[in-house]
Chains A and B, each alone.
Chain A
Amino acid sequence: MPMPDRFRVSEFARQHKVWTSISLLSAACVVLPILSVFWNGLRPANENWAHIRRHMLWDHVPPTIRLVVFACAASAMLGAALAWLVAAYDFPLRRLFRWALALPLAVPPYIAAYTYGNMLSYTGIVQQTLRGMGVRANPAWFDIMSEPGAVFIFTMFLYPYVFLITRAYLEKSGGSYVENARLLGRSGLPLFFRVVLPISRPALAGGAALVAYETLSDYGVVNYYGIQTLTIAIFKTWFGMYDIESATRLGALFLAGILAVVVLERLLRRRRRYSETTGRGAPLKPVRLRGAKAALATAACLAALAVAFLIPVAQLAQWAGWTFESVTLRADFGKLAVNTLKASLLATALILAVSVIVANTVRMARSGLHAAIAKLLTAGYAIPGPIIAIGVLSLFIALDRLLAPLYAGMGRGAAPLVLSLSLAMLIAGYVVRFMATGYNAVESGFERIGMKYAEASRTLGAGPTRTFFAVDLPMIRGPLLGGAALTFVEIAKELPLTMLLRPFNFDTLATKAYQYAGDERIYQAAAPSLMIIGIGLASVFILHHMAGSGQK
């Protein structure tokens, strides 16, 4: 065969460098907004700051900490208990509960918050029914719009993170420990507390960390329930005082606190390595329950599912039915759906494109630098949405200032804001925050196929580009689509980031539903809320499916 193409070694290395540079650049784009929060936070304080520090900061820190600590602890307990139940015992409907107990993930906590808030209010279904039955209940008993109420909401709708991770761990490798404990005469509650909880600590920590990130990032629940968290402080400073500088300072402090906790946790974990010692535990075989015990197990799972999914969804469905014509059939409802679709799809496409390019480069290069790039690229998932919003906003404003001469040349006036009033800013925020969802899916897809197919393709005369399109891309299609769907769903239901970064008059399903709820028009909020839950259900099924195919 004629082979005219000869490469110099340096040429080969150069191609390599191009992809590495693109990856570095992408990682930089993702990290820059986060760093800019720190950078801007270090600037000298303005005259508002003393006021904010005295009257806001110290009022908002303790509730934030209490909320996160209690929500994490309660979610960990509930998630672990349910995971243990479905992993270790067999009882009626166990196979259904195995995945159905993940359904609450489909309900964003802010929707749950206003649904339960209204159900339990004086005119809500619960108190009305009680009054109808002639029971005179003290309204204070039903006060969910409080800190314990918020903990309840976060627990019931975020516990599936703990449940899913712990269940997978127990089912896959809990067997040998549990069997040994049983042989040594432990069973029931002592077995759970002395063996199961300790061995699942890594899984619990992983799940609880996700609960913490979600809780810290939340705006909808705490705002609706009137709890003064740091996120609220940032919103108040930004929109109440129009003081972005001070909001940035708050964000930087907030971020420093989160980083400190993460670093502390890493340090503590290093000293006590509580990951599995052998790493090859046996699968756990469920023990059959009979009679009252079986009924009790089924009832417990059903109760959790009812509170965390069935009841609120049924209530929303009823409300949506009442307002079907006035909300659902109006033209602007279609516009909401289109807006949601547009923003989510654009951001998803961008995330997946960057993920594929970077993940491919990382796997080809297999170096420390590339591993670091991957870490940086996915850092956004641990950063609360409002902080990312601040970082993105300040970068876009800086960008607009930089481009001002260009705008002027285009006849747009002296100092206009173009980029920072456009949809691009919202998309950028989504990309930073949700890069990890897409990247992890793509990366796991590449890991599963390995390098051998690409190498076979190269020895058959296909260059890197043809190899990528004819071999690698078709082979990771499944994980790619799964990752895309998951990312899309996460973005579609995102609230705080959207509220902060959207262009003027740009509403998505999430912002509109929340606005209705905030305006005491809870029935109107029901239809868009149900749509968001529907989208969320899709993600739960995709996750379930991806986990199932991953086991093969």
Chain B
Amino acid sequence: MTHVIVEQIAFTHPGSRTPVIRGMSFAMEKSEIAGVLGPSGAGKSTLLRLLAGLEIPEAGRIVIDGRKVFGDGVFVPPEARGVGMVFQDYALFPHLTVARNIAFGLHRLPRAKRAERVREMLELVRLESLADRYPHELSGGQQQRVALARALAPEPELLLMDEPFSNLDAGLRVAIREELRGILKRTGTTCLLVTHDRQDVAAICERTIRIGGEAAGDSQAAEAVAPIH
């Protein structure tokens, strides 16, 4: 069943004349992990921001889990989209502990359920012992796992990850890739991951969406490379 549909979306940065994204379309299956690959400046991060609702496209349609979140005059704001995001530098709230960072997206759950869910998530990313630490007291790899746990806690329909490994050193990268794939598969999360490293995509993703780069000059946009299974 098609879970995410992106149809002919376009976006131009304010103050710029040439669109970064023009007429882009692709679709994702439920529980699929797809990688967006492309050189820097090709609009990879912008694509994620459009899906998350942090930017408004100029045209097109976005459907997530059968619900139109953008198009034909409809715009669902980020907080109501059910889309989770792991930011490139994690953006963990520095004034909140690990547990309260993870609980941030769970404000609609009753208190007891919330605590339980936080415990589950800490278990999932194996950080039970660090629940009361503050983000600046964690290593880079630990911070990344907290960011993942925070984004997954509200059970998003779609998880977006922006260069999830760029702040980790090479050794850690391989280990975390494996771990991430395991977690995503276990939770059955649909995930769109942006990277400039082919190895990330090869290790985790089932499918590659290429953006910019090869497509010369104006004829731009993205092509969904692999067919939808």
Minimum CB–CB distance for B61 against chain A, Å: 13
Q: A1-B155, A453-B91, A455-B54 are in contact. Are A461 and B77 (CB under 8 A)?
A: no
Contacts of A9 in B (CB 8 A): 56, 73-75
Give Cα A462 to B154, complex, Å: 11
Question: CB < 8 Å: which of A8, A453, A462 contacts B79?
Answer: A462
Q: 1/0 contact trace for B136-167 toward A, CB 8 Å? A: 00000000000000110011000010000000
Q: Which of B1-9, B26-34, B80-88, B196-204 is found at the contact surface with chain A?
A: B80-88
CB distance A461 to B67 under 8 Å?
Answer: no
Is B128's CB within 8 Å of the partner chain A? Answer: no
Question: CB < 8 Å: which of B75, B91, B108, B154 contacts A7?
Answer: B75
Is B95's CB within 8 Å of the partner chain A? Answer: yes
CB distance B87 to A455 under 8 Å?
Answer: yes
CB distance B154 to A461 under 8 Å?
Answer: yes
Give Cα A457 to B95, complex, Å: 13
Is B134's CB within 8 Å of the partner chain A? Answer: no
Question: CB < 8 Å: which of A3, A457, A471, A475 contacts B81?
Answer: A3
Is A148's CB within 8 Å of the partner chain B? Answer: no
Give Cα A5 to B105, complex, Å: 17
Number of chain A residues close to chain B: CB under 8 A: 29
Q: 1/0 contact trace for A332-367 toward B, CB 8 Å? A: 000000000000000000000000000000000011
Give Cα A6 to B64, complex, Å: 13
Contacts of A457 in B (CB 8 A): 93, 104
Q: A455-B87, A460-B84 are in contact. Are A1 and B73 (CB under 8 A)?
A: no
CB distance A456 to B85 under 8 Å?
Answer: yes
Is A470's CB within 8 Å of the partner chain B? Answer: yes
Is B94's CB within 8 Å of the partner chain A? Answer: yes
Give Cα A404 to B82, complex, Å: 55
Is B229's CB within 8 Å of the partner chain A? Answer: no
Minimum CB–CB distance for A369 against chain B, Å: 12
Is B78's CB within 8 Å of the partner chain A? Answer: yes
CB under 8 Å from chain A, chain B span 50-84 = 52-54, 56, 67, 73-84
Can you name the residue of chain B whose Cβ is closest to the Cβ of A9? B75
CB distance A3 to B80 under 8 Å?
Answer: yes
Question: CB < 8 Å: which of B73, B85, B95 contacts A459?
Answer: B85
CB distance B76 to A1 under 8 Å?
Answer: no
Is A10's CB within 8 Å of the partner chain B? Answer: yes
Interface of A is mostly: helix
CB distance A460 to B74 under 8 Å?
Answer: no
Question: CB < 8 Å: which of B67, B74, B79 contacts A458?
Answer: B79
Q: A3-B81, A5-B80, A461-B154 are in contact. Are A12 and B91 (CB under 8 A)?
A: no
Number of A-B contacts (CB under 8 A): 95
Minimum CB–CB distance for A11 against chain B, Å: 8
Q: A459-B52, A460-B84 are in contact. Are A8 and B73 (CB under 8 A)?
A: yes
Is B17's CB within 8 Å of the partner chain A? Answer: no
Give Cα A455 to B76, complex, Å: 15
CB distance A459 to B80 under 8 Å?
Answer: no
B75, B79, B89 pick with most chain A CB within 10 angstroms = B79
Contacts of A11 in B (CB 8 A): 75
Is B186's CB within 8 Å of the partner chain A? Answer: no
CB distance B77 to A459 under 8 Å?
Answer: no
Number of chain B residues close to chain A: CB under 8 A: 34
CB distance A12 to B75 under 8 Å?
Answer: yes
Contacts of A462 in B (CB 8 A): 79, 104-105, 107
CB distance A6 to B80 under 8 Å?
Answer: yes
Is A474's CB within 8 Å of the partner chain B? Answer: yes
CB under 8 Å from chain B, chain A span 421-476 = 452-453, 455-463, 466-467, 470-471, 474-475
CB under 8 Å from chain B, chain A span 365-401 = 366-367
Minimum CB–CB distance for A460 against chain B, Å: 3
CB distance A475 to B53 under 8 Å?
Answer: no
Can you name the residue of chain B whose Cβ is closest to the Cβ of A452? B91
Can you name the residue of chain B whose Cβ is closest to the Cβ of A5? B80
Can you name the residue of chain B whose Cβ is closest to the Cβ of A8? B73
Give Cα A8 to B75, complex, Å: 5
Minimum CB–CB distance for B16 against chain A, Å: 13
Is B14's CB within 8 Å of the partner chain A? Answer: yes
Q: A366-B14, A460-B104 are in contact. Are A474 and B95 (CB under 8 A)?
A: yes
Can you name the residue of chain A whose Cβ is closest to the Cβ of B92? A456
Contacts of B56 in A (CB 8 A): 9, 12
Q: A3-B76, A3-B80, A8-B75 are in contact. Are A461 and B107 (CB under 8 A)?
A: yes
CB distance A475 to B154 under 8 Å?
Answer: no
Contacts of B84 in A (CB 8 A): 459-460
Contacts of B74 in A (CB 8 A): 6-9
Minimum CB–CB distance for B97 against chain A, Å: 13
Q: 1/0 contact trace for A67-110 toward B, CB 8 Å? A: 00000000000000000000000000000000000000000000
CB distance B151 to A458 under 8 Å?
Answer: no
CB distance B76 to A7 under 8 Å?
Answer: yes
CB distance A12 to B107 under 8 Å?
Answer: no
B54, B73, B84 pick with most chain A CB within 10 angstroms = B54
Contacts of B67 in A (CB 8 A): 3
Minimum CB–CB distance for A320 against chain B, Å: 43
Give Cα A102 to B148, complex, Å: 47
Minimum CB–CB distance for B187 against chain A, Å: 15
CB distance B79 to A463 under 8 Å?
Answer: yes
Minimum CB–CB distance for A39 against chain B, Å: 35
CB distance A470 to B104 under 8 Å?
Answer: yes
CB under 8 Å from chain B, chain A span 154-206 = none
CB distance A475 to B94 under 8 Å?
Answer: yes
CB distance A461 to B85 under 8 Å?
Answer: no
Minimum CB–CB distance for A216 against chain B, Å: 38
Question: CB < 8 Å: which of A10, A366, A455, A470 contacts B73?
Answer: A10
CB distance B95 to A460 under 8 Å?
Answer: no
CB distance B82 to A1 under 8 Å?
Answer: yes
Question: CB < 8 Å: which of B53, B78, B94, B154 contacts A1?
Answer: B154
CB distance A461 to B105 under 8 Å?
Answer: yes
Can you name the residue of chain B whose Cβ is closest to the Cβ of A451? B54
Can you name the residue of chain A whose Cβ is closest to the Cβ of B56? A9
Give Cα A6 to B160, complex, Å: 21
Contacts of A366 in B (CB 8 A): 14
Give Cα A265 to B104, complex, Å: 51
User: Could you write out 17 A-B pairs with CB less than 8 Å apart?
Assistant: A1-B155, A3-B76, A3-B80, A5-B77, A5-B80, A6-B74, A7-B75, A7-B76, A9-B56, A11-B75, A12-B56, A455-B78, A459-B79, A460-B79, A460-B84, A461-B105, A462-B104
Extra pairs beyond A367-B14, A455-B91, A475-B93 (5, CB < 8 Å): A1-B108, A8-B73, A457-B93, A459-B78, A471-B93
3 smallest A-B Cβ distances: which pairs? A460-B105, A458-B78, A456-B91
